[in-house]
Structure 1
Amino acid sequence: MLKIERLLINFKTLEEFKRFKEYGMQELSMLEDLQDNIIENDSTSPFYGIYFGDKLVARMSLYQVNGGTNPYFDQRQDFLELWKLEVLPGYQNNGYGKALVDFAKSFRMPIRTNSRMKSADFWDKMNFEPVKYDMARDKGENPYIWHPDMDGEMTSGETA
């Protein structure tokens, strides 16, 4: 079983994120997010990752959003935004991305994400559904949503 870790906001994590920037698209870069919030060893980081040995090989950011600003779900409720999920080349197709998504699902809250870089098939496999595009709301994004009731593989109280 893969261990998901909350990443500390520190200079070591900043260096690890630079490795992702070498391979990923600019839109997935978390360097600016991290630099804007850097406080040595801040444990309230929205960043999560998976290490292979001492190398960060997969990461995402996960933010809780107040339901008052929720245009994606039928009811006004708090939800999670899962952003910038990325797995380094050479580590892809080994379950790291799925492990991060399952970790987010374990909070049993609705999740919104944005399908990028030809990732729609991945989100479909994770039981996310595309949202009907609304130009004013989505502003060029490709939102996908997941709700705990949509996932038959987990029951209330289970964790990934």
Structure 2
Amino acid sequence: MALTVENLKLNFKTMEEFKGFKEYGLEELSMLEELQIIMVEDNSSSPFYGIYYGDKLAARMCLYVKKDGARLLENGSDQYLEIWKLEVLPQYQHKGFGLKLVEFAKSFSLPILTKPRVKSHTFWEKMDFSSLSESSSRLIWNPAATTSQKIS
């Protein structure tokens, strides 16, 4: 079965699917509150992306487009992405779902920031993310650095 990343709809069905993640994950990974806020604000664009396996939401993440990254990233780019709360249900872990979500984010060819959670630092290193700075717990993926590494 091919894994496809989908933009998740802002509706009560998605809210019910998110409750399934709450059973397995940590409270800090819950996206229910964010989803409820966006639904109340009647925001038509969803920052939520996920992968369905059959009719079950197996993996999800928040993917935000941020501006004014030049000061933060020091690379001249004024936009970057931030992956927030990437999570894969336990029965789907180690099957490429997390990789597929990160590859989807990388396809925008913008720098990506994330903050590793719940013992996921090794996963992010495998995805070519590195520390933003020595004093920061956030990680960055820079498409320019990846391209230059592949050319060498």
8 Å contact kept, 1:7–1:49: yes
Residue 110 of structure 1 is matched in structure 2 by 111
CA distances 1:68-101 after superposition (whole Å, capped 9, x unpaired): 5742343352100110000001100000000000
Q: Cα 1:73–1:153, aligned 2, differ >3 Å: closer, same or farther?
A: closer
Q: Cα 1:98–1:154, aligned 2, differ >3 Å: closer, same or farther?
A: farther
Say yes or no: does 1:60 pair with 2:55. no
Say yes or no: does 1:12 pair with 2:13. yes
Q: Aligned partner of 1:85: which letter?
A: L
Q: Cα 1:121–1:153, aligned 2, differ >3 Å: closer, same or farther?
A: farther
Distance in 1 (alpha carbons) for counterparts of 2:145 and 2:49 = 24
Q: Cα 1:146–1:95, aligned 2, differ >3 Å: closer, same or farther?
A: same
Identity %: 51
Distance in 2 (alpha carbons) for counterparts of 1:13 and 1:154 = 39
Q: Aligned partner of 1:89: which letter?
A: P
CA distances 1:135-158 after superposition (whole Å, capped 9, x unpaired): xxx5xxx20000112325998xxx
Q: Gaps spanning 5+ residues in structure 1: where?
A: 156-160
Q: Aligned partner of 1:111: which letter?
A: I
8 Å contact kept, 1:115–1:144: yes
Distance in 2 (alpha carbons) for counterparts of 1:94 and 1:53 = 15
Range with greater deviation from structure 2 (5-14 or 146-155): 146-155
Residue 142 of structure 2 is matched in structure 1 by 147
Range with greater deviation from structure 2 (51-60 or 30-39): 30-39
Q: Cα 1:82–1:68, aligned 2, differ >3 Å: closer, same or farther?
A: closer
Displacement over 4 Å in runs of 4+: 152-155
Q: Gaps spanning 5+ residues in structure 2: where?
A: none
Superposition TM-score, scaled by structure 1 size: 0.84
CA distances 1:19-62 after superposition (whole Å, capped 9, x unpaired): 001110111110000011116x9651000000000000000000
Distance in 2 (alpha carbons) for counterparts of 1:145 and 1:118 = 17
Q: Cα 1:70–1:85, aligned 2, differ >3 Å: closer, same or farther?
A: farther
Superposition TM-score, scaled by structure 2 size: 0.89
Distance in 2 (alpha carbons) for counterparts of 1:33 and 1:11 = 13
Cα RMSD, aligned residues only: 2.4
Q: Number of paired residues?
A: 149
Distance in 2 (alpha carbons) for counterparts of 1:30 and 1:104 = 18
Residue 3 of structure 1 is matched in structure 2 by 4
Q: Aligned partner of 2:142: which letter?
A: H
Greater helix share, 1 or 2? 2
